[in-house]
């Protein structure tokens, strides 16, 4: 057994029994819905636990940071206080955030940056990849990783359906840390030609009964180009023999500049043509013009079923940019899983920073098949009508 693996096992001795699973699926559930799963822990519980275990470092890569100004007891406030506690006990905290939302949500970033032991850097990813830092992940002591659809946002922990994974494994953590160090250096004015790559990766790596590979985008900005997520997703779909089940916020066959992006669309159609059952579940934000058309074109393909979901409004009033299914994952044949941070649109793979995990495991595949079935069969989901004209939902004030 290698020294890093021995160290990882020893570290588990300091972890509470409820969190000792080295690969854990974690959810967030909109309050006042029927989407909660008793056997899956919530991110608002898991995140502070992870942060409170930090002894040396905490590294966050986030699209933005936003808390509820009207509620100083929000679920994210609990997380933020854990970060501040970590810094107070000597943990080095680095927080990387995308420039696009800095002006929209400046308060929490300023609060963090004002604390001793916490450094915030603003990342203008457009200057490098053309898109945004859309990833949502953090590392504890360079050995424990959380990655998923949850933004560092109070709404993500209370009013949005989300899915992520917590992992303790040295190789997986090192790959995430290499990506983080690359972006941290670039955000600080480092050489745009350099990528941090601390050594060769050996993926997939075994975690229990699972084979796990970290994946990232965009191409061209990776420490190891073999970890680009898009080819991995296509390969998963092309290997499908029975089922492909996908949930996303949005799915499009065009990029922002109007160019055609059919890489994943073509793979889904190939799967259906050889008898694979393909199911896609999208948020009702996909009713927008320019998005719904691609879903309607898939709905008429034999073997492909497309649904949307609408989360009921909160009884306490309208919550902007919330009450939506935001999870991003795929299950193939009930055993091969992708959990990520990006929607299935061209820019997310070719221009923006995203991250995820590919997991090959009957245990996790079966569990996420059931997770998908619960959302698919919920009272919030309904078939996409290939001939309908849809009105987009209200999303902002």
Length of the chain: 397
Q: HEC states along the chain?
A: CCHHHHHHHHHHCCCCHHHCCCEEEEEECCCCCCCCCCCCEEHHHHHHHHHHHCCCEEEEEECCEECCCCCCCCHHHHHHHHHHHHHHCCCEEEEEEEHHHCCCCCHHHHHHHCCCCEEEEEECHHHCCCCCECCCEEEECCCEEEEECCCEEHHHHCCEEEEEEEEECHHHHHHHHHHHHHHHHHHCCCCCCCCCCCCCCCCCEEECCEEEEEEEECCCCCCCHHHEHHHHHHHHHHCCCCEEEEEECCECCECCCCCECCHHHHHHHHHHHCCCEEEEEEEHHHHCCCCHHHHHHHHCCCCEEEEEECCCCCCCCCCCCCCEECCCEEEECCCEEEEECCCECHHHHHCCEEEEEEEECHHHHHHHHHHHHHHHCCCCEEECCCCCCCCCCCCCC
The predicted structure's pLDDT at residue 8: 46
The predicted structure's pLDDT at residue 2: 52
Would you say residue 390 lies in a domain? no
Cα–Cα dist 329/282, whole Å: 11
Query: Locate tokens 């200057």: which residue?
Result: 127
Would you say residue 146 lies in a domain? yes
**In contact, 177 and 96? CB cutoff 8 Å:** no
What is the CATH classification number for the domain harbouring 251?
3.30.870.10
The predicted structure's pLDDT at residue 257: 85
Cα dihedral 267, 272, 276, 279 sign: positive
What is the span of the domain harbouring residue 124? 3-383
Would you say residue 130 lies in a domain? yes
Number of domains the chain contains: 1
Instruction: Give pLDDT tens digits for 159-211.
Output: 999 999 999 999 999 999 999 999 999 999 999 999 999 999 999 999 999 99
Would you say residue 81 lies in a domain? yes
Q: Phi/psi at 124 (nearest 5 deg)?
A: -90, 80
CA distances from 385 to 300, 343, 375, 381, 389 (A): 9, 22, 19, 13, 9
Would you say residue 395 lies in a domain? no
Tell me the average confidence (pLDDT) per consecutive run of 10 residues in the chain, 397 residues long: 48 49 96 98 98 98 95 94 98 98 97 98 97 98 98 98 98 98 98 94 96 97 96 98 98 89 98 98 96 97 98 97 98 98 97 98 98 98 98 95
Residue 289: CA count within 13 A, CB half-sphere: 2
Would you say residue 391 lies in a domain? no
Residue 369: closest CA among 320, 336, 321, 397: 336
Would you say residue 388 lies in a domain? no
Measured at the CA of 235, the angle between CA 233 and CA 237, to 5 degrees, comes to: 70
- Please give the distance of CA 187 from its chain centroid, rounded to a whole number: 21
Instruction: Give pLDDT tens digits for 348-390.
Output: 999 999 999 999 999 999 999 999 999 999 999 999 999 999 9
| First vs last C-alpha separation in the chain | 56
Would you say residue 396 lies in a domain? no
The predicted structure's pLDDT at residue 21: 85
The predicted structure's pLDDT at residue 19: 52
Structure tokens at 65: 């940071």
């Amino acid at each position: 057994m290698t020294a890093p693996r021995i160290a990882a096992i020893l570290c588990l001795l300091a972890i509470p029994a409820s969190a000792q699973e080295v690969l854990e699926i974690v959810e967030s559930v909109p309050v006042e819905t029927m989407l909660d799963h008793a056997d899956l822990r919530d991110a608002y519980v898991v995140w502070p636990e992870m942060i409170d275990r930090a002894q040396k470092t905490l590294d966050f890569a986030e699209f933005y940071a936003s808390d509820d100004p009207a509620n100083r007891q929000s679920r994210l406030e609990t997380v933020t206080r854990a970060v501040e506690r970590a810094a107070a006990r000597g943990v080095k905290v680095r927080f990387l955030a995308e420039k696009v939302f800095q002006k929209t949500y400046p308060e929490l970033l300023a609060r963090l940056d004002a604390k001793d032991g916490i450094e915030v850097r603003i990342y203008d990813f457009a200057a490098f990849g053309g898109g945004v830092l859309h990833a949502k992940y953090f590392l504890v002591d360079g050995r424990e990783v959380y990655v998923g659809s949850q933004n560092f946002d109070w709404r993500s922990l209370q009013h949005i359906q989300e899915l992520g994974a917590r992992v303790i494994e040295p190789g997986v953590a090192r790959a995430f840390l290499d990506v983080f160090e690359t972006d941290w250096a670039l955000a600080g004015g480092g050489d745009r030609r350099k990528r941090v790559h601390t050594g060769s990766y050996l993926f997939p790596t075994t975690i229990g009964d699972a084979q796990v590979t970290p994946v990232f985008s965009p191409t061209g900005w990776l420490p190891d180009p073999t970890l680009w997520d898009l080819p991995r997703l296509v390969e998963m779909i092309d290997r499908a023999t029975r089922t492909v089940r996908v949930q996303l916020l949005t799915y499009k066959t065009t990029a922002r500049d109007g160019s055609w992006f059919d890489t994943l669309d073509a793979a889904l159609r190939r799967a259906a043509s050889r008898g694979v059952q393909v199911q896609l579940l999208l948020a009702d934000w996909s009713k927008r013009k320019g998005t719904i058309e691609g879903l309607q074109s898939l709905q008429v393909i034999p073997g492909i079923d497309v649904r949307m979901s609408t989360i009921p409004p909160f009884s306490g009033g309208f919550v902007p940019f919330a009450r939506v299914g935001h999870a991003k994952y795929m299950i193939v044949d009930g055993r091969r899983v992708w959990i990520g941070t990006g929607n299935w649109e061209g820019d997310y793979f070719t221009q923006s920073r995203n991250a995820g995990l590919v997991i090959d495991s009957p245990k996790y595949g079966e569990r996420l098949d059931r997770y998908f079935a619960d959302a698919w069969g919920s009272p919030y989901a309904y078939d996409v009508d290939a001939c309908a004209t849809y009105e987009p939902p209200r999303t902002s004030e």
